[in-house]
Amino acid sequence: MSATRSVEVAFLSKAAAKKELKELAKEIAEHDKRYHQEDAPVISDADYDALRRRYEEIEARFPDLALADGPAQRVGAAPLEKFGKVKHAKPMLSLDNAFDDGDVEDFADRIRRFLNLKPQEELAFTAEPKIDGLSASLRYEKGVLVTGATRGDGQEGEDVTQNLMTIGDIPHRLEGKDIPDVFEVRGEVYMAHEDFFALNTRQEKDGKPVFANPRNAAAGSLRQLDSSVTASRPLRFFAYAWGEVSSLPADTQLGVIEAFQAMGFEINPLMRRVTTVADMIEVYKTIGETRANLSYDIDGVVYKVDRLDWQERLGFVSRSPRWAIAHKFPPEQAMTVLEGIDIQVGRTGALTPVAKLRPVTVGGVVVSNATLHNEDEIARKEILIGDWVIVQRAGDVIPQVVGPVASKRTGSEKKFKFPTTCPVCGSNAVREHKEGSDKLDAVRRCEGGLTCPAQAVERLKHFVSREAFDIEGLGSKQVEAFYGEGRIKEPADIFKLQRDDSERDEKLADKEGWGETSVRNLFAAIDARREVNLDRLIFALGIRHVGATTGRLLARTYGRMDNFVEQMELAADRGSEAWSDLNAIDGIGLIVAEAIVEFFAEGHNREAVAALMQEVKDVPLEAADLSSPVAGKTVVFTGKLELMSRSEAKAKAESLGAKVAGSVSAKTDILVAGPGAGSKLKKATELGIETLTEDEWLKLIGG
């Protein structure tokens, strides 16, 4: 060992660091070779790890000394036990979908309205293929690749840096001058057809499972704990977006993507800039025609507003940007036999018919189950058991039965009789009347409530799902097993699992599929969720009609769980202030409000929530910007706004931590009134509420 290594990294001179990095790289490479190729290591794993750690510490202190072919860049590191997590500095968003030309037109119109553009003003978009792979985020600091992560839930992904470094299309160091200090490049990891087929042939020969399609192969290859396996899989990468950046090389989408190319990335050669909806659709058609000849899978065309200042103003709704949309290609279809129909009971008691199909390949994936939606659909499409049916699959959505091929009937097909009792608990299953009409709801629901095991289990699965508590190691399979053994009956039991296990004769660690380590990890993962963001907590309760977006709205409005529960109990009285406050929230309609109040009117639910709150602590949502003078204030917009559209005004106010309400009440802090304001302005004046013009409002929020 060289004498310099006794010097702490913090005290190394640059010259000494350079020398040591070179020596270390050589030494590590020799050990790698002995370990991986000759199966004959000469040092212990711990000593080897110490060498690598020292190398990484020096590299982190002097990133510009990183060797292009140094150990960090090379595969052959010992397999990891599991991936570390990476919090994305900017969330990784998904895209809203357009399915036909009309949706594309609506998209462009929506943007024009939001930005208040004059009809003659040019609105340019980029149009490019939507690659069917998996997205990844690459963080460069001072031009050197430091972290690479998967998308994960959009907020937090898995650290797959070593694996991404094995992909030839991903530069380890950005090319060119004036590279920003922090530069996160995002794009799609994918596998080309030819490589996919070759990989499957190899897998088959080695007696290993084959992949259903290139996307699964790419995902499976990237998420390998041993990066030498990833290195042996031919993955590729297209750069098409970015995350946190200390500065941008251009002020248009196209300009930035072209800069990516200059920095050493592959960009998609089919990308175009267009200025009319007709041209967007033209590009969609052209790319659609090219699709069959491309060497990789694509599933649509993505349009993005070209001007970045407009992207900024448009912002995003929930998880997708307002400035981009994916125009999907029509779903792929196949024909097969409907062998039977099963009934599944969901979280809210809905009975869903599931088609049991003779397995068939649709768009590269074997399908044997598909949804039939509800009993009216089966009747409307005149689907019989034994029919040949058309099945379709579009991207990630559940495969669906499109309809029967009546010409192939033999006469032996049978009508399906939809059950009127729950197949799981035997309770009555009924179709409710739609509010205010004599029409029946399309969905038949089990009336067993939480006494129905199917509903209870589905609620628990929802509770631990990704957008809810997201407990690592506790997925649907485990929830089913734990429910079956009586370990978990309601959400609070999840947090009592460890205590309960210590009192049981049959320990979890002794059960098949579990061991000391996995049980310890599970308990740790559960404990890690004892503090949970309020929006996740509300969403996790599984209240009908309350999705992740409504969860966020409620969290923002009520601040803390105890306040939320108290207000919802008060709101049971339809004459109460709490009820009118709930209905005043912009984005919450009557049906949603009713569902929330009904949920809390149910004793079972109140008890389950109270028990849960003995175990967990809610974390209020951070007000987006607490320094803003409108953070926490309730704002109402009325009349015509002239400088921005109503949606832009609302989005801006919310991003500054304000709550936007649809009607004026004593709780309103500010009324922003444009020309033509009427009853709301009058009411605000009567209540002595601060009233601002649009100009005054903009001045107040500083922009």
Residue 633: closest CA among 702, 560, 701: 701
User: How many residues belong to the site for ligand IVH (CB under 6 A)?
Assistant: 15
Single residue of 77, 326, 468, 585 touching ligand IVH by CB under 6 A: 326
Going 501 to 503 to 504 to 509, the CA torsion angle's sign is positive
- Rounded to a whole number of angstroms, the minimum distance from the CB of residue 20 to ligand IVH is 40
Closest CB to ligand IVH among residues 308, 701: 308
Stretch that binds ligand IVH, among 89-97, 209-217, 518-526, 672-680 (CB under 6 A): 89-97
Instruction: Report if residue 93 touches ligand IVH, rule: CB under 6 A.
Output: yes
Restricted to residues 480-519, the positions that interact with ligand IVH (CB under 6 A) are none
Residue 451: closest CA among 329, 604, 241: 604
Length reported for the chain? 703
DSSP letters, 284-340, are HHHHHHHGGGSSS-EEEEEEEESBHHHHHHH-EETTEETTEEEEEPPPEEEEEEEEE
Single residue of 21, 77, 131, 540 touching ligand IVH by CB under 6 A: 131
Compute CA distances 350 → 50, 347, 420, 446, whole Å: 56, 7, 12, 6
Restricted to residues 590-649, the positions that interact with ligand IVH (CB under 6 A) are none
- Rounded to a whole number of angstroms, the minimum distance from the CB of residue 200 to ligand IVH is 23
Instruction: Report if residue 327 touches ligand IVH, rule: CB under 6 A.
Output: no
- Rounded to a whole number of angstroms, the minimum distance from the CB of residue 92 to ligand IVH is 7
Does the active-site annotation cover 130? yes
Residue 247: closest CA among 136, 140, 126: 140
Stretch that binds ligand IVH, among 93-101, 204-212, 432-440, 542-550 (CB under 6 A): 93-101
State the CB neighbour count (10 A cutoff) for residue 256: 20
Residue with tokens 């020969």: 205
Look up residue 211 and give its two tokens: 């992949």
Instruction: Report if residue 128 touches ligand IVH, rule: CB under 6 A.
Output: yes
Single residue of 302, 519, 561, 596 touching ligand IVH by CB under 6 A: 302
Single residue of 217, 241, 571, 672 touching ligand IVH by CB under 6 A: 241
Closest CB to ligand IVH among residues 21, 326: 326
Residue 161: closest CA among 177, 181, 192, 140: 140
> Strand runs (DSSP E) across 12-102, as ranges?
85-87, 97-98
Based on the number of CB atoms within 10 Å of its own CB, is 622 exposed (0-12), middle (13-18) or buried (19 or more)? exposed
Single residue of 324, 446, 468, 616 touching ligand IVH by CB under 6 A: 324
State the CB neighbour count (10 A cutoff) for residue 217: 24
Single residue of 188, 458, 493, 535 touching ligand IVH by CB under 6 A: 188
Stretch that binds ligand IVH, among 127-135, 198-206, 461-469, 522-530 (CB under 6 A): 127-135
- Rounded to a whole number of angstroms, the minimum distance from the CB of residue 86 to ligand IVH is 16
**Rounded distance between C-alpha atoms, residue 140 and residue 522, angstroms:** 33
List 130, 304, 652, 680, catalytic entry: 130
- ∠ CA(349), CA(350), CA(353), 5° rounding? 135
- The residue nearest ligand IVH at its CB is 135
Single residue of 17, 48, 107, 135 touching ligand IVH by CB under 6 A: 135
Encode 434-465 in three state secondary structure: CCCCCCEEEEEEECCHHHCHHHHHHHHHHHCC
Instruction: Report if residue 536 touches ligand IVH, rule: CB under 6 A.
Output: no
> Strand runs (DSSP E) across 570-693, as ranges?
617-619, 634-638, 659-661, 670-673, 690-692
Closest CB to ligand IVH among residues 271, 660: 271
- Rounded to a whole number of angstroms, the minimum distance from the CB of residue 77 to ligand IVH is 27
- Looking at the DSSP assignment, which residues form a beta bridge with residue 361? 366
- Rounded to a whole number of angstroms, the minimum distance from the CB of residue 541 to ligand IVH is 27
- Rounded to a whole number of angstroms, the minimum distance from the CB of residue 302 to ligand IVH is 4
Stretch that binds ligand IVH, among 88-96, 460-468, 487-495, 659-667 (CB under 6 A): 88-96
Closest CB to ligand IVH among residues 135, 230: 135
Stretch that binds ligand IVH, among 318-326, 359-367, 493-501, 593-601 (CB under 6 A): 318-326
- Rounded to a whole number of angstroms, the minimum distance from the CB of residue 587 to ligand IVH is 22
Closest CB to ligand IVH among residues 72, 93: 93
**Rounded distance between C-alpha atoms, residue 305 and residue 320, angstroms:** 13
State the CB neighbour count (10 A cutoff) for residue 222: 24
Instruction: Report if residue 94 touches ligand IVH, rule: CB under 6 A.
Output: yes
Closest CB to ligand IVH among residues 93, 592: 93
**Rounded distance between C-alpha atoms, residue 211 and residue 198, angstroms:** 11
Cα atoms in the Cβ-side hemisphere of radius 13 Å centred on 212: 10
SS3 content of the chain, % helix, strand, coil (to 5): 40, 20, 40
Radius of gyration of the chain (CA): 29
Stretch that binds ligand IVH, among 128-136, 207-215, 501-509, 677-685 (CB under 6 A): 128-136
- Rounded to a whole number of angstroms, the minimum distance from the CB of residue 690 to ligand IVH is 36
Single residue of 55, 107, 240, 564 touching ligand IVH by CB under 6 A: 240
Instruction: Report if residue 321 touches ligand IVH, rule: CB under 6 A.
Output: yes
- Rounded to a whole number of angstroms, the minimum distance from the CB of residue 396 to ligand IVH is 9
Closest CB to ligand IVH among residues 25, 241: 241
Stretch that binds ligand IVH, among 90-98, 167-175, 555-563, 634-642 (CB under 6 A): 90-98
**Rounded distance between C-alpha atoms, residue 336 and residue 392, angstroms:** 11
Cα atoms in the Cβ-side hemisphere of radius 13 Å centred on 636: 26
Closest CB to ligand IVH among residues 267, 692: 267
Residue with tokens 């109460």: 576
How far out from the chain centre does Cα 274 lie? 29
Closest CB to ligand IVH among residues 295, 437: 295
Closest CB to ligand IVH among residues 94, 116: 94
For the chain, how long is the longest CA-to-CA vector? Answer: 88
Closest CB to ligand IVH among residues 91, 620: 91
Stretch that binds ligand IVH, among 16-24, 129-137, 228-236, 686-694 (CB under 6 A): 129-137
Closest CB to ligand IVH among residues 45, 153: 153
Instruction: Show which residues are catalytic.
Output: 130
Binding region for ligand IVH (CB under 6 A)? 93-95, 128, 130-131, 135, 151, 188, 240-241, 302, 321, 324, 326
